[in-house]
Structure 1
Amino acid sequence: MHMTDTPEWLAPSLDYVSRWLEYQMRVLEQPGCTIAVTYRGKLKLEHAIGFADQGLSIPLTPRHRFRVASHSKSFTAAGLMRLREQGRVTLEDRTGQYVSGLHPKIASATIAQLLSHTAGIFRDGMDANYWVDRAPFPDEAELDRDLALPPAIEAGLRLKYSNHGFALAGRVIEAVTGESWVDWIGREIVAKAGLTETTPDAPLPDGAPFARGHSSRTLLGRRLVVPGDQSTNAFAPATGFVATAGDLAKFFAQLSPEAETSILTAASRREMTRAQWRDPHATLETSYGLGMISGTLDGWEWFGHGGGFLGYITRTVVVPKQHLAISVLTNAVDGSAHPWLDGALRIMKAFATGGAPSAHLADWAGRWWSVWAAVDLVPIGQKVFVALPGLLDPLAKTAEIEVNGTDEGRIAEAGAFGSYGEPVRLIRNDAGKVSTVRLGAGTLVPEDVLAAELQARYDLQRPETATPINGSERG
């Protein structure tokens, strides 16, 4: 394969990722989700599911922008790395060289410590009500007041996330450039990266499609629409950005050390994305670099960032060795962007390992139903996997079908409680189309067939005089 060719497994893997996400959205009743995937910086998938505004039933499209919150930190870090390349700052410079009025211990923190969350600065100040929409985001005067206070811990002790630290990093950019952070970052990072659907903060340009946020259903039994269009004021360098999944995937792809074109040198990208400070409390191995989180998923090393803004959960990841970038954006406070992105990666890895599905397995692909659950037949390479789309990892502990005839196969891999070794058969209708799947002793049918069967069997009104199931009578 030529270096610039797209691997044959990628398109079928993305097709299944899209179908799996559609089912996840249906099961979890999320308002909206968009996903974008690039390969070698080129967009290979943009897919939107659900609503940009559930209250008004506005369909979501890939052009809708989301609040992407802490993705902003990667943009701010890239800005300072660009200034470093120009010789205007060093990572060892003290913040007090550029910003006055800081507490002496904060003034002595280095730019590298701000970007790696090791300056010891408190996370959100003394009053974080702006995160729950009970107050506006702090302005410059309020930020100055907070940064005159002592840090929570000494610098350099440990990884300690700080939105105030990145707000201060934005102030450093303003001091060095003599411009507002919004103007400089918009021109020197956003525009030069070729992003056309990204702004450093609200408000958006007139007419730009915008996905509204949503509350969870837990409190009221229904979701409320969260406007999500407030300015983040002095905290824009930490959390202001508004973007599409496509723009985020393209931007983060440029920050890969493997990228062929980028706004930064390869040396700067390696410094940003390498694991510098480990999080010992994370359930999965996770580290932080300079404005960038990194980790490993099933042997694939990744870097990227996530974001949480009232009404939105978002995440973007790059797998450098596979030349992939994936962005998943959701517009609800309980959005599943993190596990969905992990699930998408696992699906892609399964296809990368097994290869593109063989052409003779085309009739074995599809979604089938039993009263228990939906089941996906997913051809990968020469095998057919029995996937469960209701799982966050649909191919986990799945059965494998070995096809030994046009419509015949056997379960060649399965757990001890499955139907290992038993036959599988495709049953066709008079038109020659597959209408039923016999999987071991079970029968799988299309969704509409099962829905009609269950309604006919169970959707009946019981007479008031019917005997209760436990046989008792009420007086």
Structure 2
Amino acid sequence: MDAWLAAALDYIPRWIGFQLRHHDQPGCAVAIDHGGATVLDAAFGVADLSTGEALTTAHRLRVASHSKTFTAAGILRLIERGLLRLDDPVGDYVEGLHPDVADATIAELVSHSAGLLRDGPDAGQFLDRRPYLDEAELRADLALPPVLPAATRFKYSNHGYGLLGLVIEAVADRPYADWIAREVIAPSGLAETTPDVPATPGIPLARGHSCRWPLGRRVVIAGDNPTRAMAAAAGFTATARDVARFFGSLSPGAERSILEPRTRREMTRRLWRDEAVSLERHYGLGVISGPPGEWAWFGHTGSFQGFLSRTVVVPDHSLAITVLTNSIDGPAYAFVDGILHILRTFEARGAPPAGRERWSGRRWTLWGAFDLVPVGERVLVAVPGLPLPFLDATEIAVDGPDRGHVARAHGFMSPAEPVRLEPESVWIGGAHLVSEGALARELAARET
């Protein structure tokens, strides 16, 4: 492992732990895979607010629409075996569809360009107001016409992936859950993943949680409801390490994968741009992609009642990052962006030299927490409450064991002023940053 990556992995859990506390979140599981090996696997907070049970790395969480990537990989595996083609009409495999739905191709369904209804006439299954659709209910919705002509734009459809589950059942002649477990989950080496809620007793399953409002407190959402005919779109449960391992294996350069490199390149190619968003985003065959560049990524997100999750893979650096949260407002998107920001900073500046451990740690003032983080030749004064903790960070040049100066800072801070390190505090210019306990005592004294 590169020294810069090891240094970044040391700081990421400290930042995530503070972020969870800062945003008053129940729990979060984070895993990072590098070249097929798990290099970070951590859990924070609680699995269930009503019991206080600690969230562990062994807990399964609902990963929701990450399920689509597993399903897409299954479809592509069938294509590699010559049992399907991307340009086959779905009506060749599933009967009873509206004629225009039947004309949609497998490729259009996998890439969300078939123009289908997103969730049918009643989306209550995703609002915890009704059970997930069974096969008869899904088929009834698929007898309705599409809302747009096929191949005109990216239009996300859970129903489209439910239909792909029916395609897999028709081609494999066995239930979707059985086939995907045998042909995708098992050969990918995933021991902690199931296509729906685990049937085996004793497997720890984290509970979901609502937003704080309108009640002013979070409500526990069991999250153990089976997704039935919608499992191919939203049903999977997994640990963060399993999800990161699986998505990492889909990178075109991965050494171990259930799919051929050519298939993975096609899977991760940008096919449709989502034109209605401010940030550049594309969809391929079962994966979302960001803008091109050295840190270009692909992956997926997931929203289940009570859970929010995100995974990104950075092929150029052989990294896969998964963040699973157990609240519907969990900042999984922001956490992944923050992790990428930390990784990019360390990759650009390098690991710190030996002997800088004393210049590391969290200190506080009335204005909040600040992290001293050695990065390359400098010590950055990070703000762990920010979504990008190193953004415009003050930089300290170390001049001696306990002396330095502000080598870079914006004009409202303390450029060129001295820095003095003490055993439990640090002076940056005229500002004295102390331990959390010291600040707590200072604030408590104001109340007496």
Shorter-chain TM-score tier: over 0.9
Residue 324 of structure 2 corresponds to 329
Matched, 1:11 2:9: no
CA separation in 2, counterparts of 1:28 and 1:435? 26
Shift of 1:299: 4.9
SS at match of 1:334: coil
Aligned partner of residue 150 in structure 1, secondary structure: coil
CA-atom RMSD, angstroms? 1.0
Residue 230, structure 1, aligned to residue 225, structure 2: yes
Q: Which amino acid aligns with 1:459?
A: E
Secondary structure class of the residue paired with 2:355: helix
Q: TM-score, normalised by structure 2?
A: 0.99
Which residue does the alignment assign to 2:167? 172
Aligned to 1:465: none
Q: The residue matched to 2:179 in structure 1 has which SS?
A: helix
Say whether the 8 Å CA contact 1:203–1:230 is kept in structure 2: no
Sort the Cα spacing of 1:101 and 1:182 in 2 relative to 1 into closer, same or farther, 3 A: same
**What is the deviation of 1:426?**
0.6
Decide whether the 8 Å contact of 1:279 with 1:286 is kept in 2.
yes
* In structure 1, distance between residues paired with 2:18 and 2:387: 11
Partner of 2:439: 450
Q: What amino acid sits opposite 1:122 in the alignment? A: L
Q: What letter matches 1:151 in structure 2?
A: P
Give the drift of 1:283. 2.1
Separation of aligned partners in 1, 2:56 and 2:291: 31
Deviations 1:302-343 (A, max 9, x none): 000010000000011100000001100000011011100110
Structure 1 residues 332-370: Cα deviation after superposition (integer angstroms, max 9, x where no partner): 011011100110111011111111111132211110010
> Using the alignment, how far apart are the partners of 1:247 and 1:297 within structure 2?
26
What is the alpha-carbon distance in structure 1 between the residues aligned to residue 269 and residue 406 of structure 2?
Answer: 43
1:315 aligns with 2:319: no
Q: How far is the alpha carbon of 1:296 from its aligned partner?
A: 3.6
Cα distance in 2 for residues equivalent to 1:403 and 1:337: 35
Q: Quick one: distance in 1 between partners of 2:12 and 2:112?
A: 34
Partner AA of 1:159 in structure 2? F
- Once residues 437 and 194 of structure 1 are traced to their aligned partners in structure 2, the CA distance between those partners, rounded to angstroms, is 48
The normalised TM-score by structure 1 is: 0.93
Is 1:436 aligned with 2:436? no
Across the two proteins, how many residue pairs are aligned to each other? 448
Q: Secondary structure in 2 aligned to 1:221?
A: coil
Matched, 1:275 2:270: yes
2:337 is aligned, of 330, 338, 342, to 342
Q: Partners of 1:365 and 1:36 in 2: how far apart?
A: 23
Task: Summarize deviations over 1:9-63 as a string: whole Å, max 9, x none.
Answer: 1122111110001111111110000100011010001110000111100000000
1:193–1:251: 8 Å Cα contact kept in structure 2?
yes
Three-state SS of the structure 2 residue aligned to 1:112 is helix
Distance change >3 Å, CA 207–CA 297, structure 1 → 2: farther
Match of 1:99 among 94, 107, 125: 94
Instruction: State the Cα distance separating 1:297 from its structure 2 match.
Output: 8.6
- Helix, strand or coil: the match of 2:381? strand
Report the counterpart of residue 421 of structure 2 in structure 1. Answer: 426
2: CA distance, partners of 1:105 / 1:309: 29
Which of 127, 132, 144 is the equivalent residue of 1:132? 127
Cα deviation 1:72-98 (Å, max 9, x = unaligned): 000000001000000000100000000
* 2:180 pairs with 1:185: yes
Q: Does the CA-based 8 Å contact 2:60-2:192 persist in structure 1?
A: yes
1:413 aligns with 2:408: yes
SS for the counterpart of 1:404 is: strand
Q: Distance in 2 between matches of 1:283 and 1:361?
A: 41
1:169-219 C-alpha deviation (Å, 9 max, x unpaired): 111111111011100001100011010000001243211111000111111
Which structure: larger Rg?
1
SS of equivalent residue, structure 1 residue 124: coil
- After TM superposition, the structure 1 stretch with the greater mean CA deviation from structure 2, 61-70 or 403-412, is 403-412
Deviations 1:263-314 (A, max 9, x none): 1000111111111100111221110000000004985100000100000000
Give runs of ≥4 in structure 1 deviating > 3 Å: 296-299
The correspondence of residues 4-153 of structure 1 with structure 2, limited to 5 A, is 6-153=1-148
Equivalent position to 1:359, from 354, 362, 381: 354
Task: State the SS of the aligned residue for 1:378.
Answer: strand
Contact 2:427 2:433 in 1 (8 A): yes
Contact 1:203–1:231 (Cα < 8 Å) also in 2: no
Gaps of 5+ in 2: none
